Amino acid sequence: MSRVAMLIDESRCMGCRGCQVACKQWNDLPGEETTQRGSYENPPDLSPTTWTRVRFIEVVQGDSLQWLFLTHGCFHCGQPACVHVCPTGALKRDLTEGIITVEPDLCNGCGYCSQFCPFGIPRLDTDVLSGEGKAYKCNFCQDRVANGLLPACVKTCPSGAFDFGDREAMLAKGRARVEKLNQQGFPNANLYGEHELGGLGRLYVLKERPSLYGLPENPEYPVLANLWQDVLQPLGTLAFGAAALGVLGFYFLARRSVNMEDVE
Partner 1 sequence: MIGNRMNTTEELGEAGVIRIRWIPKYTAMERLFHWGHTVTFLALAATGMILFFPFLRPLAQGEGGQLVRLMHRAAAIPYGALPLIYVILEPRRAVLSLRSVFKVSRDDFEWIKGAMPYYLFGRHEAMAPQDRFNTGEKLNAVVIILGSVAFAITGLVMWFGKGIVPIGLYQAMVVMHDVSMVVTVSIFIVHFYLAVVHPMMWAGLVSMRFGVTSAAYAQEHHASWYYGPERAKEIYEARKAALAAEEEYPTD
- The residues binding ligand HEM (CB under 6 A) are 87, 110, 131
Q: Distance from CA of residue 16 to its chain's centroid?
A: 23
Which entry of partner 1, ligand HEM, none binds 168, CB below 5 to 8 A by partner kind? none
Q: Is residue 230 at the binding interface for partner 1, with CB under 8 A as the rule?
A: no
CA-based max dimension of the chain = 97
Q: How far is the CB of 229 from ligand HEM (least distance, A)?
A: 9
3-state SS class at 88: coil
Task: Report in angstroms how near the CB of residue 129 gets to ligand HEM at its nearest.
Answer: 11
Q: How far apart are CA 138 and CA 73, in angstroms?
A: 6
Q: Rule CB under 8 A: is residue 247 a binding residue for partner 1?
A: yes
Which is closer to ligand HEM, CB of 234 or CB of 249?
234
Residue 240 amino acid letter: F
Closest CA to 68 of 6, 12, 5: 12
The residue among 91 and 110 lying less far from ligand HEM, judged by its C-beta, is: 110
Nearer to partner 1, 44 or 89 (CB): 89
CA 259, CA 216: separation in Å to the nearest integer?
Answer: 69
Can you tell me the distance from the alpha carbon of 151 to that of 197, in angstroms, rounded to the nearest whole number? 23
DSSP structure class, residue 260 = G
59 makes contact, choosing from ligand HEM, partner 1, none, with CB < 5 to 8 Å by partner type, with none
| Binding window for partner 1 (CB under 8 A); candidates: 2-10, 57-65, 84-92, 152-160 | 84-92
Tell me the C-alpha distance between 140 and 169, whole Å: 17
> Under a CB-based contact definition with an 8 Å cutoff, are residues 233 and 132 in contact?
no
* Contacts with partner 1, residue ranges (CB under 8 A): 87-90, 105-112, 114-116, 120, 124, 128-132, 222, 224-225, 227-228, 232-233, 235-237, 239-240, 243-244, 247, 250-251, 253-255, 257-260, 262-264
